[in-house]
Amino acid sequence: MTSLIVMGVAGCGKSSLARAVAQAQGLPLVEGDDHHSAANRERMARGIALTDADRKDWLDTLGRLLQAHPQGVVLTCSALKRAYREQLRAASPGLRFAFLDITPAAAARRVVARPSHFFSASLVDSQFATLQSPVGEPGVLRLDAELPLATLQEQVQGWLQQETSA
């Protein structure tokens, strides 16, 4: 079974889609945000964007988590830069990415609507500035993040079935 990363900027719906796909596929779910260091969480809560150096240990941890699930796993991770995605691909050959594409305005609305999350709404713009679109990379499915969750889940599952039978 292939592992899947549900990726995109803050507020795109990674957690909701990953949970639905993991449940439907019978795979474990790993919430990438749960593996940020306390220092990184504090930085983001204060509205300070993470640097590549800040993300290094986090990405290393996520790579180890992918390797710890050879039977497959669904993982949430912003995976904003191609270099981050390549690092994760190296840890898990055949890794797939479901990219939740969303507008900056819609992402900002969603982040503001979830006050219990540690991520500061002021960081949404920095996420878009950092994002290197994965469209065109191998093993990537682009999704319209504003579609209903059930539709997104169906699209991902159909794509995964198509990918494994090819």
Q: Per residue in 87-145, pLDDT tens?
A: 999 999 999 999 999 999 999 888 877 666 555 666 788 889 999 999 999 999 999 99
Residue 28: CB atoms within 10 Å: 15
Rounded mean pLDDT, 38-45: 81
pLDDT at 114: 67
SS3 assignment, position 95: coil
Count of structural domains, the chain: 1
pLDDT at 142: 98
Q: Per residue in 144-162, pLDDT tens?
A: 999 999 999 999 999 999 8
Of 82, 70, 88, 94, nearest to 135 by C-alpha is 82
| Residues paired with residue 85 on neighbouring β-strands, in sequence order | none
Mean pLDDT of the chain: 90
Determine the angle formed by the axes of helices 52-67 and 82-91, rounding to 10 degrees. Answer: 30
pLDDT level of residue 44 (50, 70, 90 thresholds): confident
Q: What is the CATH number of the domain that holds 149?
A: 3.40.50.300
**Domain span at residue 67?**
4-165
Q: Model-level pTM?
A: 0.91
SS3 assignment, position 31: strand
Q: Per residue in 64-94, pLDDT tens?
A: 999 999 999 999 999 999 999 999 999 999 9
Q: CA-CA-CA-CA torsion for 98, 41, 34, 61, nearest 10 degrees?
A: 80
